[in-house]
Chains A and B, each alone.
Chain A
Amino acid sequence: EVQLVESGGGLVQPGRSLKLSCAASGFTFSDYNMAWVRQAPKKGLEWVATISYDGSSTYYRDSVKGRFTISRDNAKSTLYLQMDSLRSEDTATYYCAREGLMVLFAYWGQGTLVTVSS
């Protein structure tokens, strides 16, 4: 059974940093592209970043480019999101997601809440 478990969320002041983790199990982690998707409170879904199966390619939405870094450790089956220079508009539940056949986000974690506030 595919399992994705996010951690690392919490309350952080504007301008500070936070690092999210996503522990994967139930599949061969190094075979799949992975992504982060976020959802602001009471709002819709927004893709944040994607990393290729081997970590060689990364893609970001414009609003986080230069501030967020997606990475992975295939030996540990773990996905990361380093978030720097956080802004209030980054407040959201962050989900990690695994690709599937003809679909970017076939499996989702339960999410971790990041609140950026002074």
Chain B
Amino acid sequence: DIQMTQSPASLSASLEEIVTITCQASQDIGNWLAWYQQKPGKSPQLLIYGATSLADGVPSRFSGSRSGTQYSLKISRLQVEDPGIYYCLQGYSAPYTFGAGTKLELK
């Protein structure tokens, strides 16, 4: 099974700050990496797909990048509506696996 190691587990940041979350895949998954945001009591919402493509309706302050088997989600200027839990997902091979999640809070 492919393991997705996500870090950090939690972080606290100020408004307008730059935030970066990373996922390390245990093997090559190409660009089969997606990022989701989940708010309390809600279903996950797609932010990034194909490692770097922005999903429809997602603000441009969100971006994804890849370096080998390490993937990053960047929020360029943290806004008040951005706190939540962020997950990465590898869709390269079953069993499809999520990272453990990053809880993002406003400082």
Instruction: List A residues at the B interface (Cβ < 8 Å).
Output: 44-47, 50, 59, 61-62, 95, 100-111
Contacts and interface: CB of A to CB of B under 8 A. Distances in A.
A117 to B, nearest CB: 21
Question: Chain B contact residues: over half helix, strand or loop, or mixed?
Answer: loop
A46 to B, nearest CB: 7
B49 A101 contact: yes
B98 interface: yes
A102 B44 contact: no
Question: Chain A contact residues: over half helix, strand or loop, or mixed?
Answer: strand
B43 A44 contact: no
The residue among B34, B45, B53 with the most chain A CB atoms within 10 A of its own CB is B34
Contacts of A100: 46, 49
B99 to A, nearest CB: 8
B91 A104 contact: yes
Contacts of A104: 34, 89, 91, 96
B87 interface: yes
Nearest to B32: A102
Given A103-B50, A106-B49, A108-B44, A62 B91 contact: no
Contact of B98 (A46, A62, A103, A106): A46
Interface string B63-101: 000000000000000000000000101010011111111
